[in-house]
Structure 1
Amino acid sequence: MDERATWATRIGFILAAAGSAVGLGNIWRFPFLTGESGGAAFLVVYLLLVVGVGVPVLLVEFVIGRRSNRNPIGAFERLGHPGWKAAGAVGAIAAFIIFSYYSVVGGWVIQYVVASFTGGYGADAEAFFLSTASGTNAIAYHGLFMATVAGIVALGIRNGLEKAATVMVPTVVVLLVGLAGYGATLDGAGAAYSYYLAPDLSTIVGDAVSILPAAAGQAFYTLSLGMGIMITYASYIGEDRNLLQDAGVIVVLDTAIALLAGLVVFPFLFTQGIEPGEGGAGSIFISLAGAFQQLPGGELLGGVFFLMLLVAALTSAFSIFEVVVSYITDTFDVNRVPTALGMAAVLFVVGIPTALDLTYLDAYDLFANNILLILSGLLLSIFIGWVYAGEAVEELGKGRASDGRIEAIWLTTLRYVVPIVLAITLALSVRDYIGFLQESFL
């Protein structure tokens, strides 16, 4: 097998990892989930989960990836615990499912970019969304998005993923900051900030149980946890790197961009009197397209927003697809280019049902995010906390001076906090998913 590729620079790795987290999960999924789940109350639960669960699990994936230099499934054989391959397989399956419908949503974004710069979305924003979200147009643009991602990933780590991330991630940040600044000047900004940033503390405890599955799934989705992405990305970094420091930068950048996305979306909605969370998975498209039509210079503003969303979609799509490609190239010692193209064709076919019926998109999304990602995080935390603790502590200590206190806190959290929270979340998620299936398909 050829020598494994590595990141050329630390900033390249951080931007690629942050780019994975910065994508549609933060800018498409986060605002509509926040709207559906009550605004600031959801935000508080989400942030607590990011800090208390997300950071420890991110370090778990970093340790497994760098220690093994392998994909999420092959990692456990390299670590001497082949019986735990199932833990990695859950994440790889999640990445496969997520990318199949993620590409469909990416195709929606391309259509909105084109429409924004060529005459807008018509008189009825909802009708325009329905015409783009399902049918032959959705399938065609799903294929275009899939082909674009496959082409970049086929170029490899340094020439493809790293170069793309160093351009795209700063672009997303600049455009988001500019849009947030514009949003602050709108009439509905004050009400939007109150809804988004001022929780009713008296209701959070009571609401936490109902919010927990969506908030945990979103925390994992935006940090790219449970899909094997961070295991795969960490497998390309050297032993001299400070994993704790890199994880901190990635989490701060990701969380800041998630918060920034809300500061962009909610002022636009409140200014037009649009209820947050309306429209489900299509809410950001229906609501914002309608809002842009009402604003001065709305076509240009909408074009900039959806162009930014497309760039963000691509940055995280690269990382999800890399998990699948890495597994095939590591396991079967085959060339990256035909692997990327072949898997793109398979995923294109798997994604077709979601391009024909939004109910399938919801089914894929809830299963992958609220069940598979959480299950993967639960298994990985148990593995490191109880099976591979000594070696994991050693790996986390590389690249920095350590007195062992941080590692001790990390292990305690992985043993006694993370599994309990994730087990409860998983049980609630399974209950909710069964209810969804009964309502939607039976």
Structure 2
Amino acid sequence: MTDPIDVEVQKHGEDSIQRELFGTRLGFILAAVGSAVGLGNMWRFPYRVAEGGGAAFVTLYIILTLCLGIPLMLCEFSVGRRTRLSPIGAMRREGGGAWPLVGFLGVLTGLLILSYYSVIAGWVVRYGIEGILHGFAADPGAYFEQVTTGVAPIVYHIAFMVLTITIVSVGVEKGIEKASLILMPVLFTIVIGLAVWAATLVGSGEGYSFYLAPSFEELLNPTTLAEAGGQAFFSLSLGMGAMLTFASYLSRHENLNREATTIAFSDFGVAFTAGLVVFPVIAALGLQSQVSASTVGALFIALPGAFVEMGTMGRVVGIAFFFALTVGAVTSAVSLLEVVTASMIDEFKITRRPAAIGAGTLILLVGLLPATSLDALGVIDSITEWFLAVGALCMTIFVGWRMKDPVAEMVDGASGFFAAVVPTMMLFVKFVMPPIIAFVVFWSGRNAFNTLVTTLTGGG
């Protein structure tokens, strides 16, 4: 059921500002799922799984998504819907003091992530076009080097950012929501179809075993725990203000608890299903070593090589796979740009179109660095993963200890089970989540520092 959401007017002293709202509940859910579902599910996830011991990482990722992801998303929803503002303004209004700096960190994180995310999305688009026009290269390693060097990655990065700016500049309902309503069902259909196809491959059983049978030794590995937490924040778009911003476009009668649960399960479903595509294919063709070699191994080297070995069917499957990746990249990029755009609208009181163009142009310029250097891309990726964890920790502390009566906001529009669990969940937010997320902050910060040092000293 997609009941229309009533337009609301937000009061700022003597000023009355009509804030854009999503036109339907389904539109909001698909937009939020689109923010969560993207390259994080199909680019980072397979590498993190391979590096983290396979099913052990998946198990921890599931636990952290349910125990940390849903409550944290609900925290962001409650702040965004109550204030009707983007991250900086929301933290200023609800917290005062230095809390707007947390909102600024979220905006900065979204800006930095999109600066390199757009570069990777450009690679994806080029692979898809190449698959359609010529098929996939016989030497995927050499082709990847060609894709990531020279002028081409800059051109594709610019083209992808122009597309993202265009969608965001149209508006919430006519741009973001409409794009999500069209693109997300397409992505779901393709990913499920690919998973069904992968199950038919001879030799895929080893991939399923690695992916689905956890090692208890790896479950106790602190690195695996920290990276699973970081992946959960990245994949669910938490800690950067994206969900807070989307919730600021919601009406009062929406059930925030239900929506957070729906979005988290949808995001996990796509990530998990993507693994059911990647690992059976990798195992069937004996390409396991290429997955764990680097963050790009599975997506841009191993899988294209697999598609070549499969002949005509591989080309068809490869085109579908990279098209699905492109769809996910667009929906996630739109949400990242919306965080920065909405903040510019609220802070500088300008209209949407110049805000989207200004924010997008700034991100485009920052992205020229990762577009010309894989080392720079890796450093920014590590630093922003740490930023996400810091943002998540700050949001948990803010809602748990600073925000006035967050329970009232969370239960507004909820009923039954969803309303009943909120008081208990808030105890979890106050006392259990901060130390767990603090551990992720420490570990991801250490990883970011090591990555930076290795790159600067020429070891990366």
| Identity within the alignment, % | 38
1:397 equivalent to 2:404? Answer: no
Q: Quick check: 1:57–1:377 contact (8 Å CA) kept in 2?
A: yes
Aligned residues, how many? Answer: 438
Report the Cα offset of residue 212 of structure 1. Answer: 2.3
State the Cα deviation string for residues 26-45 of structure 1 (Å, max 9, x = none): 11111111112221111111
For 1:9, the aligned partner's letter is T
State the Cα deviation string for residues 125-170 of structure 1 (Å, max 9, x = none): 0110111122210000000000000000000001000000001010
1:415 equivalent to 2:436? Answer: no
Q: Equivalent residues in 2 for 1:51-200 (5 A)? A: 51-79=66-94, 81-200=96-215
> 3-state DSSP class of the match of 2:64?
helix
State the Cα deviation string for residues 342-385 of structure 1 (Å, max 9, x = none): 2222111101111111111110001101x100000101100111
For 2:90, the aligned partner's letter is A
The ranges of structure 1 where at least 4 consecutive aligned residues each deviate by more than 4 angstroms after the TM superposition are: 402-405
Q: Quick check: 2:227–2:440 contact (8 Å CA) kept in 1?
A: no
Report the Cα offset of residue 248 of structure 1. Answer: 1.0
Q: Distance in 1 between matches of 2:191 and 2:110?
A: 26
Q: Equivalent residues in 2 for 1:282-321 (5 A)? A: 282-297=297-312, 298-321=314-337
Q: Quick check: 1:377–1:422 contact (8 Å CA) kept in 2?
A: yes
Q: Quick check: 1:76–1:82 contact (8 Å CA) kept in 2?
A: no
Report the Cα offset of residue 282 of structure 1. Answer: 4.6
Query: Which segment drifts farther, 130-139 or 61-70?
Result: 130-139
Per the alignment, residue 263 of structure 2 pairs with: 250
Report the Cα offset of residue 405 of structure 1. Answer: 4.3
> 3-state DSSP class of the match of 2:311?
coil
Where does structure 1 lack aligned partners over 5 or more consecutive residues? none
Per the alignment, residue 25 of structure 1 pairs with: 40
Q: Quick check: 1:135–1:355 contact (8 Å CA) kept in 2?
A: no
Q: Distance in 2 between matches of 1:218 and 1:310?
A: 20
Q: Quick check: 2:56–2:219 contact (8 Å CA) kept in 1?
A: no
Per the alignment, residue 218 of structure 2 pairs with: 204
Q: Distance in 2 between matches of 1:407 and 1:122?
A: 53
Q: Distance in 1 between matches of 2:449 and 2:360?
A: 30
Q: Quick check: 1:229–1:320 contact (8 Å CA) kept in 2?
A: yes
Q: Quick check: 1:102–1:317 contact (8 Å CA) kept in 2?
A: yes
State the Cα deviation string for residues 265-319 of structure 1 (Å, max 9, x = none): 1111111100132332353111110000001322221111101110111011110
Report the Cα offset of residue 121 of structure 1. Answer: 3.0
Residue among 232, 248, 273 paired with 2:286:
273
State the Cα deviation string for residues 159-197 of structure 1 (Å, max 9, x = none): 000000001010000000110011000013211111001
Per the alignment, residue 356 of structure 2 pairs with: 340
Report the Cα offset of residue 341 of structure 1. Answer: 1.5
Q: Quick check: 1:150–1:340 contact (8 Å CA) kept in 2?
A: yes
TM-score, normalised by the number of residues in structure 2: 0.93
Per the alignment, residue 214 of structure 1 pairs with: 227
Q: Quick check: 2:38–2:328 contact (8 Å CA) kept in 1?
A: yes
For 1:333, the aligned partner's letter is K
Q: Distance in 2 between matches of 1:87 and 1:323?
A: 13
Q: Distance in 1 between matches of 2:219 and 2:254?
A: 39
Q: Distance in 2 between matches of 1:433 and 1:331?
A: 31
Per the alignment, residue 360 of structure 1 pairs with: 376
State the Cα deviation string for residues 48-76 of structure 1 (Å, max 9, x = none): 11111111110100000001000011002
TM-score, normalised by the number of residues in structure 1: 0.96
Q: Quick check: 1:374–1:425 contact (8 Å CA) kept in 2?
A: yes
State the Cα deviation string for residues 90-124 of structure 1 (Å, max 9, x = none): 11111010000000001001100110011123221
Query: Which segment drifts farther, 285-294 or 295-304?
Result: 295-304
Per the alignment, residue 7 of structure 2 pairs with: none
Decide whether aligned partners of structure 1 residues 140 and 282 sit closer, same or farther in structure 2, where only a CA change above 3 A counts.
farther
Decide whether aligned partners of structure 1 residues 282 and 190 sit closer, same or farther in structure 2, where only a CA change above 3 A counts.
closer
For 1:213, the aligned partner's letter is A
For 1:340, the aligned partner's letter is A
Report the Cα offset of residue 79 of structure 1. Answer: 2.1
Q: Distance in 2 between matches of 1:400 and 1:422?
A: 27
Backbone CA RMSD of aligned residues:
1.4
Q: Distance in 1 between matches of 2:401 and 2:303?
A: 47
Q: Distance in 2 between matches of 1:148 and 1:354?
A: 19
For 1:144, the aligned partner's letter is A
Per the alignment, residue 253 of structure 2 pairs with: 240
Report the Cα offset of residue 402 of structure 1. Answer: 5.8
Report the Cα offset of residue 2 of structure 1. Answer: 4.1
> 3-state DSSP class of the match of 1:217?
helix
Report the Cα offset of residue 440 of structure 1. Answer: 1.8
Q: Distance in 2 between matches of 1:391 and 1:188?
A: 55
Q: Distance in 2 between matches of 1:283 and 1:441?
A: 26
Q: Distance in 2 between matches of 1:359 and 1:376?
A: 24
Q: Distance in 2 between matches of 1:247 and 1:157?
A: 19
Per the alignment, residue 442 of structure 2 pairs with: 427
Q: Distance in 1 between matches of 2:260 and 2:204?
A: 33
Query: Which segment drifts farther, 296-305 or 54-63?
Result: 296-305
For 1:130, the aligned partner's letter is E
Q: Distance in 2 between matches of 1:189 and 1:171?
A: 25
Q: Distance in 1 between matches of 2:416 and 2:406?
A: 14
> 3-state DSSP class of the match of 1:38?
coil
Q: Distance in 2 between matches of 1:401 and 1:255?
A: 25
Report the Cα offset of residue 400 of structure 1. Answer: 2.3
